[in-house]
Amino acid sequence: MSTRIVIAGGGMVAGYAAKALIELGLAPGDLTIVSADSVLPYERPPLSKTFLTGKDSAEAIRINPEDFYRDHGIGTCLQVSVTGLDARRKALSLSSGEELRFDSLVLATGSRAARLKIPGAELPNILYLRSLADAQAIRARMGEARRAVVIGGGFIAMEVSSVLAQSQIETTMVLPDERVWKRVFTPEMSESFESYFASRGVRFVKMAKVQSFRGDHAVSAAILGDGRELACDTVVAGVGAIPVTEYLQGSGLEPDNGIRVDEFLETSASGIFAAGDIANYPDLIFGKRRRVEHWDNAVSQAQHCARVLSGGREPFRHVPYFFSDVFDLSYEYWGDSEGFDEVVYRGDLAGVSWSAWWLQRGVVVAGFVMGRPNEEREAAPRWIESRQRVSRDALRSESTPIDAAVKA
């Protein structure tokens, strides 16, 4: 079996790359998507937000309608995993036993949820969130849950905790650090979010790790390292994700924190690209390599691969971006704060409308915006890409228009 273009992985990269390729004139029969999932490509952000709350259905979060693939002659191999790759022969081995030959390949196998490896971790009602099936399991469990423990202090743990608490489930977050999302938030930001969560019933257990679970037929308690027990009937663990790259063994491509690609998202093997969670790419704005597991990165790299496969040759240049919704708050983050030497806040961190700006020698390297005017949202990526120097005092003053903070 052969086809001109293959996308290995049925996630967001596949959905958005297929859409972009069709818009760029892809001929029917030229694209095949191989997906280990049982459903067509869908949006992942709603899994911890509107889908989990029941506001969206599985059909509503599809990237493209079901007939899109049929109408455009796109082959879809569902519930089929990639088990091997021969980069020299340009051939994929599939779990179905077939071999799929290609001219061009986009590796987009994504990540899987990291699993707890502690006593009792296999008890029923200990859940993870990565796929639609995971979200469906959590949503089904919410109807019976009364007390939940959420393990982790990052954005997935925060989003899930907010949904559980809004469903009148007694929710406790157990995190290994002294504050939430330490990797991204400043201490002041963590304090603001912790206060907001606590006022809505979420309890925090910090500097702690779950070492085991107890339960007869299902989980009934999480046991901490100091011996404390947290009674619960449901656990959701958000402890990271692992790139799916095992099939690369013997392929000629060696995993390196994902799959290394160049500025065009092409691997060391001609005609083979990688995008999304597994792509270890050179960030041309910050001059470093990075691998990103967020929605915007998957969408942008999918569209870039489509352009390259259609004859384009522009390098991938993109400001890292992330967004999240918790309770009735929506916020966005751009850039990379590593190496910053100052943070400037605009607005009151005790409220729900403020922004944070990370500076490095007066140059904006990252921005966080929540409940602010569009001018601030628009300034953040523009300033980061252009390495804009700003006036700290003007940026801090809400009475000063945001553009007035720009230094010539």
- Confidence tier at 254 by pLDDT (50, 70, 90): confident
- Confidence tier at 248 by pLDDT (50, 70, 90): very high
Quote the pLDDT of residue 408.
Answer: 72
pLDDT exceeds cutoff 90 at 286: yes
pLDDT exceeds cutoff 80 at 167: yes
How many helices, marked H, and strands, marked E, lie in the chain?
9, 25
pLDDT, tens only, 194-226: 999 999 999 999 999 999 999 999 999 999 999
- Confidence tier at 104 by pLDDT (50, 70, 90): very high
List residues bridging with 85 in a β-sheet. Answer: 92
Phi, psi values for residue 398, rounded to 5°:
-70, -20
- Confidence tier at 96 by pLDDT (50, 70, 90): very high
pLDDT exceeds cutoff 90 at 55: yes
The residue type of 188 is: E
CA distances from 185 to 58, 246, 276 (A): 32, 33, 24
Quote the pLDDT of residue 338.
Answer: 96
Q: How many whole angstroms separate alpha carbon 296 and alpha carbon 8?
A: 19
Contact 100, 32 (CB under 8 A): yes
Phi-psi domain of 97 (left: phi exceeds 0; alpha: psi -120 through 50; beta: other)? left
The enclosing H or E element of 381 equals helix 374-386
The residue type of 230 is: L
Contact 222, 239 (CB under 8 A): no
Phi, psi values for residue 199, rounded to 5°:
-70, -15
Quote the pLDDT of residue 99.
Answer: 97
Quote the pLDDT of residue 11.
Answer: 97
Does residue 314 sit in helix, strand or coil?
coil
Residue (of 57, 38, 33) closest to 46 by Cα position:
57
Cα(first)–Cα(last) distance of the chain, in Å? 59
- Confidence tier at 352 by pLDDT (50, 70, 90): very high
Quote the pLDDT of residue 1.
Answer: 72
Contact 353, 371 (CB under 8 A): yes
pLDDT exceeds cutoff 90 at 168: yes
Which percentage of the chain shows pLDDT scores above 70? 100
- Confidence tier at 2 by pLDDT (50, 70, 90): confident
Contact 201, 237 (CB under 8 A): no
